[in-house]
Structure 1
């Protein structure tokens, strides 16, 4: 049953009732913090999740997000740069943006650069200089990266954006509780620069809604944009949106825009709102079906004495394990290709994260893949390290 809550929508500012689609009373406040011990992982700060839909503009948001619980620092580790599949995709995206927007030999600011993985790829693609803007970045975290310069700050005001010819943001907006403030700062900083694009990548909530993908819902994700709502966000903030496209097996949206529009109130066509409501309002039911399916599968594996591992120690793995309740004990440990997380522990459940080679010494009977995009890549590794293991993936 859908209920409604009253507070202001981050996109349109509407203060009427927003239908509540899905609630989680207690989840890790951060799903990608490096936990050095099992005890620390089990004692991690807890947040809550309540996904609500604005009936006026369609915006989906976590109204229980609490910025005081966030702890973005050098301990926040979400790099996917150790997956061959992901690197090939990211390299292609960097080339596409540099070529399509004539950024060869120019200066790009990557806002929310993390470890600078994509900043390096932009230089490789032809950008002369990339300013890696992130409050957690420093030269040690960045490593050897010719052409990449760390800028240790958040972008909250127009003057926070360093001089540049383009802005790139990948997987930043979904972490921002006040997206209009951030985009407003970028719009003002780039005013009068029709040649300076803002190039953005965000998760696509439409797939999450359709699949009942409970493994893609986290406390620290404030926003869950669809193609329609992210376009409206940019256009109402004064950007001219050149394109919104679905990529990476419909997991991500790419937004390409310039600061050449006129700010206005945010709203959405009633027919579009109706379609979004129909897609969103059954989300909790779909989640329930998905969770029960996985509990049944892992319960049967536990009854058979099977050795079960989860492949993927990031946000998806954290959310998946948290949703299993008592059956999380059926999972022996987590495997991840990112060496920075090896020997650490999953926030909230305390599962140890090990490297793929651990499967050679400790074979698995069942491997649960957190992202089907990597299914072929992981299947090849499992065949090499733990022949005969059954492999299943979320979303399949």
Structure 2
């Protein structure tokens, strides 16, 4: 990879090289365990001209999202986060029965179902056939398509301009960031709003959240690089909110440039915070690879000690981030017997690369393991409550990020 996909600069600096891994959402069925798995380099670099952090586009969105293993509605806290957003956005923007809302990458209708409940006209644009079908079954109108300028223009021509376009946790997932942003501009009314949620590179680096680097995340944003990306499609950043989701995210509020006005104080403050952290210069990225190595050493050390002591360790969750962690650390079923997940789509399958079996959550209570390694650590509060029963037999929870932590829980 020699050229920045946003500004075209050839000045790219290495941030961390995680080796080569299979795509994180390609869960294996039992009949494919003897087949080879393609693995692709996972090397994060940052452009020193526009500060967009990025990995090479070695797989296409079509490879990942035509059928997708992730269903948003299986996270209770995420559905609640979406409900609060809809309530707040309706109040902030005055959305009512005469408004039109579009969500891009709408998944299984986890967010737009709250828009439907309010009687607001809406449409989801979702490329994955299986999750799009689940959304329609929930009563959420959904178009199966990838967003680009042509799709945006076609939706606008058929349904009219959108008062609000929502793009939550998708802005990192598209290699053609300029084309996608132009698609957002095509969808939104000339005086409308665009809301984008994406993980913040600042917290990713400060809290060692390197497992969120995987092949379907093509880029990683600071507020500075996000502002430039939005501008590439004719949108201007006007406000930013800091969110706890995914370990630390930003919600970017943008408008068509001609209607935007001056950015808020929160934009100025966020840019200043990033600059103070060194993220607008190469030196700010220099120590990250060393901190990543420490996370790997600590996790492997724990798993090896547990195995020597005859302790049983199983996992909770089979998220994409967990597969980056397991493969980078070289964890296999001899160290992590299995993991469980609430999503029935994954039951009976195996994680890519590491080939850890995936079972329903009830398996933990049946087997009473000594330790449960929580792979979706970003849902710590939600999952600590859900897994409190593990304390009934003296079991403990293990969180690998931002540093290894072994936690006692009370049933």
Determine which of 221, 231, 247 is the counterpart of 1:235.
231
Paired position in structure 1 for 2:248: 251
Paired position in structure 2 for 1:136: 128
Q: State yes or no: 1:51 paired with 2:47.
A: no
Q: State yes or no: 1:204 paired with 2:200.
A: yes
How far off is 1:233 after superposition? 1.7
Using CA pairs under 8 Å that are at least 6 residues apart, name the structure with larger relative contact order, 1 or 2. 1
Determine which of 303, 307, 332 is the counterpart of 1:302.
307
CA distance in 2, matches of 1:285, 1:25: 15
SS for the counterpart of 2:181 is: helix
What is the number of residues matched between the two proteins?
A: 379
CA distance in 2, matches of 1:189, 1:113: 15
How far off is 1:53 after superposition? 0.9
The verdict on how the C-alpha distance between 1:45 and 1:118 changes in structure 2, with shifts beyond 3 A counting, is farther
Paired position in structure 1 for 2:398: 392
The verdict on how the C-alpha distance between 1:48 and 1:189 changes in structure 2, with shifts beyond 3 A counting, is same
CA distance in 2, matches of 1:49, 1:284: 13
CA distance in 1, matches of 2:134, 2:305: 43
Determine which of 353, 358, 361 is the counterpart of 1:356.
361
CA distance in 2, matches of 1:20, 1:332: 34
Calculate the TM-score normalised by the size of structure 1. Answer: 0.87
The verdict on how the C-alpha distance between 1:149 and 1:11 changes in structure 2, with shifts beyond 3 A counting, is same
The answer for unaligned runs of 5 or more in structure 2 is 261-270, 404-411
The answer for unaligned runs of 5 or more in structure 1 is none
Q: Deviations along 1:116-150, whole A, 9 cap, x unmatched? A: 222213323x252221112224763325323x212
CA distance in 2, matches of 1:127, 1:179: 32
Q: What are the equivalent positions in structure 2 for 1:168-187 lying under 5 Å apart?
A: 168-187=166-185
- Range that drifts further, 79-88 or 136-145: 136-145
The verdict on how the C-alpha distance between 1:214 and 1:272 changes in structure 2, with shifts beyond 3 A counting, is closer
Q: Deviations along 1:79-131, whole A, 9 cap, x unmatched? A: 2322322222222122222221222222211111122222213323x252221
Q: Deviations along 1:268-324, whole A, 9 cap, x unmatched? A: 99x939821333222111101111111111111111111111212011221121122
How far off is 1:212 after superposition? 2.4
Paired position in structure 2 for 1:219: 215
CA distance in 2, matches of 1:174, 1:52: 14
CA distance in 2, matches of 1:80, 1:143: 14
CA distance in 2, matches of 1:103, 1:280: 41
Paired position in structure 1 for 2:72: 80
CA distance in 2, matches of 1:40, 1:98: 48
Q: Deviations along 1:44-79, whole A, 9 cap, x unmatched? A: 3322111111111111000253328823223x1222
- Range that drifts further, 151-160 or 64-73: 64-73
The verdict on how the C-alpha distance between 1:310 and 1:8 changes in structure 2, with shifts beyond 3 A counting, is same
How far off is 1:364 after superposition? 1.3
How far off is 1:171 after superposition? 1.2
Paired position in structure 2 for 1:335: 340
How far off is 1:385 after superposition? 5.2
How far off is 1:34 after superposition? 4.2
Q: 1:41 touches 1:349 (CA, 8 Å); kept in 2?
A: no
How far off is 1:242 after superposition? 2.1
Paired position in structure 2 for 1:21: 15
SS for the counterpart of 1:332 is: coil
Q: 1:120 touches 1:145 (CA, 8 Å); kept in 2?
A: yes
CA distance in 2, matches of 1:156, 1:241: 20
Calculate the TM-score normalised by the size of structure 2. Answer: 0.84
The verdict on how the C-alpha distance between 1:395 and 1:25 changes in structure 2, with shifts beyond 3 A counting, is closer
